[in-house]
Amino acid sequence: MMYKRASKGASMDLKISTLITEKQIQDRVEELGKALTDKFKGKDLVAICILKGSFMFYSDLIRSIDTDLSCEFLGVSSYHGKTKSSGEVKTTLDLSAPVEDKHVLLIEDIVDTGLTMNYLQKNLQQRKPKSITTCSLLFKPAALKTEVKLDHIGFEIGDQFVVGYGLDYQNFYRNLPYIGQVENIN
């Protein structure tokens, strides 16, 4: 399927094939929500959305967690408009409230090299939470450059470039309701 934007601005139109359907995502989010409900019921939970790519997953996931929680947002960037992580993690937005003595649920869109997740875990550990639990919609084990601890994973995928459901290419394609594999980017 060729996905064409109505507006001009990105350098190319992408050929995108569906990798994970909207229904598969919804079903998996519900499963993750139930597991996280069981884990955090009655606990002081802070759910942290890693911006920008996680916002759709985060929104759906926290609505499927049946316990009280507070919401926080943390902006980081390592792609800088490219299709591969640069390896350099840059904080673009910090938390607005402390997480000391609280259970932290760190919600990420994709873990590929592992560098961003390691950076986030170390950064948050210094803030003295009771615990840090990680949840990533996508995991690319073939792209790992460092060991990483992931507690909950939505889907394992190959080392391909994907967009949709919050994930982007040059800040476009986030609004697709599915995960699409980009077929015409090197």
> Model confidence over 37-91: pLDDT tens digits?
999 999 999 999 999 999 999 999 999 999 999 999 999 887 555 556 556 788 8
Give the pLDDT score at 186. 58
Q: Provide the mean pLDDT of the chain.
A: 90
Catalytic residues: 112
Full 3-state SS string of 53-117: CCHHHHHHHHHCCCCCCEEEEEEEECCCCCCCCCCCCEEEECCCCCCCCCEEEEEEEEECCCHHH
pLDDT level of residue 92 (50, 70, 90 thresholds): confident
Each domain of the chain, given as residue ranges in start order, spans 21-157
Give the pLDDT score at 79. 59
- Report the half-sphere exposure of 45 (CA within 13 A, side-chain side): 21
Average pLDDT, integer, range 153-174: 95
Topology of the domain covering 21-157: Rossmann fold (3.40.50)
Average pLDDT, integer, range 141-154: 94
